[in-house]
Amino acid sequence: MSSGEKDESNTNMALRVRALESLLLEKGLIETPAIDELVDMFENRLGPWNGAKVVARAWSDPEYKQRLLADGTAALTEMGFDTIQGEEMVIVENSPDTHNVIVCTLCSCFPWAVLGLPPVWYKSAPYRAEAARDPRGVLREFGTEIPADTELRVWDSNAELRYMVLPERPAGTEGMDAEELAKLVTRDSMIGVSKVAPPSAA
């Protein structure tokens, strides 16, 4: 799954979405305000920024981090992020010894409340197959090298149970507050295909 293939897939998906939107509007099945509301929900009220705030709080609040790892669903609700379809949320923590990656091998189950809509590549057959079969190879395609002695765990989401990665906190962030920390966190780091870059490299 090269970057060119990902770009082409993104373009094709965008064209299909626009065509479907135009058809639904033309037939009067949806209205522009309804589309605007959905877009606002997924871009501003649901999405990676929510997950980034969760990660930043966990990095700066050890007690919250314990609650998050013990009961992800309850800890997310505590911050006002309820799951969309009643699914249970499990948060898995990256460390120097362990790296976690999320996939849905059957379809594209994804933690919408904290990560928003799944990226096109997450839903693609190559990612779903290769993340389970050759996770180190997949990470390498994203530019993420994991040491050979680091345990690599792959978590398979489904309709009832979804995962989010708590990325490893980068060095050089000791004096940063939660808002500053959240700006470092990316969607891909919460899926596990990348790491959070230190401030100097972000």
Nearest to 132 by CA among 90, 101, 171: 101
Contacts (Cβ under 8 Å, ≥6 apart) of 35:
21, 25
In the annotation, is 109 catalytic?
Answer: yes
In the set 3, 22, 95, 107, the catalytic residue is: 107
Nearest to 91 by CA among 135, 55, 145, 127: 55
In the annotation, is 22 catalytic?
Answer: no
In the set 60, 108, 124, 194, the catalytic residue is: 108
In the set 109, 124, 189, 194, the catalytic residue is: 109
In the annotation, is 108 catalytic?
Answer: yes
As a whole number of angstroms, the distance between CA 59 and CA 55 comes to 6
How many other β-carbons are positioned within 10 Å of the β-carbon of residue 167? Answer: 26
Compute φ and ψ for 7, nearest 5 degrees.
-65, -45
Give me the active site residues, please. Answer: 104, 107-109
